[in-house]
Amino acid sequence: EIRGVLFDLDGVITDTAEYHFEAWKKLAEELDIPFDREFNERLKGVGRMESLELILTHGEKELSETEKDYFASKKNDHYKTMIANITPNDLLPGILEFMEEIKEAGIKTALASSSKNAQVVIERLEITHLLDEVVDAAKLERGKPDPEIFLKAAEQINEPATACAGVEDAQAGVDAIKEAGMFAVGVGSYLKKADWIVEDTSQLKLKTLQAKFQ
Ligand code: B16
Ligand code: MG
């Protein structure tokens, strides 16, 4: 029986992925590094500093630690400007209904996002009441695909990993969920390792999840 659902944010609850893409693109242009959607796929679910490292390696550029901090915070400034205008209209199709169904069934929920901006985003989306716990990304030692974030989320809602399902749109995220010993819901047909794959969030239904979970 399923007792906890752990949500990724970006790409599952809302499409902040598009804002991350725009913000990184702007930064890559400043650094004179080629950047496109295909490369951007590799940054999904990956933390800010790690993303910058990937971009620099891709562009064969070396920077000092001070410069890295500077550019990472510059990207975050671009990103913060973009998320300031998020409204509940930015929720992905069907996700609000899915979260409400879960809440009504008495199943616990937690947010397992690598984003240090997650709190602001969920407040702007007006879904804070639908999440029992939010993992603080700033306190994590290892990023996805490490299972740490999902294990922490399960711990925060006081449920064993085996009673939890994680919902993810990124390969690194699905790997993290599986590594945590949980049931993985993959949003995106490319997520072959997930236990239940949906094409998009409108297909997420609690009844189907419960049936597949058994
Ligand atoms: P920030 P998720 C992740 O969110 C994004 O997918 C990833 O692109 C981003 O770099 C990361 O958060 C860190 O975000 O710069 O706001 O701390 O998919 O784990 O919800
Ligand atoms: Mg994501």
Laid out side by side, the sheet with 133-134 consists of 133-134, 108-111, 4-7, 164-168, 183-187, 196-198
**Chain segment 96-153, per-residue pLDDT in tens:** 999 999 999 999 999 999 999 999 999 999 999 999 999 999 999 999 999 999 999 9
- How far are the Cα atoms of 108, 174, 177 from residue 171, in angstroms, in the given order? 24, 5, 10
**Atom of ligand 1 lying closest to residue 137 CA:** 17
CA nearest ligand 1 atom 5, residue: 45
Residue 45 has pLDDT above 90, yes or no: no
Q: Is the pLDDT of residue 44 over 90?
A: no
Smallest CA-to-CA distance from 118 within 157, 151, 149 is with: 149
User: Which residues are CB-neighbours of 149 under 8 A, at least 6 positions away?
Assistant: 112, 114, 135, 137, 140, 143, 176
Helices (H), the chain: 16-30, 37-40, 48-58, 65-83, 95-104, 118-125, 148-156, 171-179, 206-213
Positions marked active-site: 8, 10
Report the Cα 61 to chain-centroid distance in Å.
Answer: 27
Q: Which residue has a Cα nearest atom 12 of ligand 1?
A: 115
pTM greater than 0.90: yes
Tell me what the mean pLDDT of segment 5-34 comes to. 96
Ligand 1 nearest-atom number relative to CA 11: 18
Would you state the pLDDT for residue 30? 95
Q: What is the pLDDT of residue 188?
A: 96
User: CA Rg, the chain, in Å?
Assistant: 17
CA of 168 to the centre of ligand 2 (A): 6
ipTM: 0.91
Ligand in nearest proximity to the CA of 18:
1
Please list, residue by residue across 123-141, b when 16 or more beta carbons sit within 10 angstroms of its beta carbon and e when fewer do.
Answer: ebbebeebbbbbbebeebe
CA 199 to chain centroid, in Å, comes to 17
The Å distance, Cα 137 to ligand 1 centre, comes to: 9
Measuring from each residue's beta carbon to the nearest atom of ligand 1, which residues come in under 6 Å? 8-11, 20, 43-48, 51, 76, 113-117, 137, 170
Ligand 1 centre and the CA of 46: distance in Å? 6
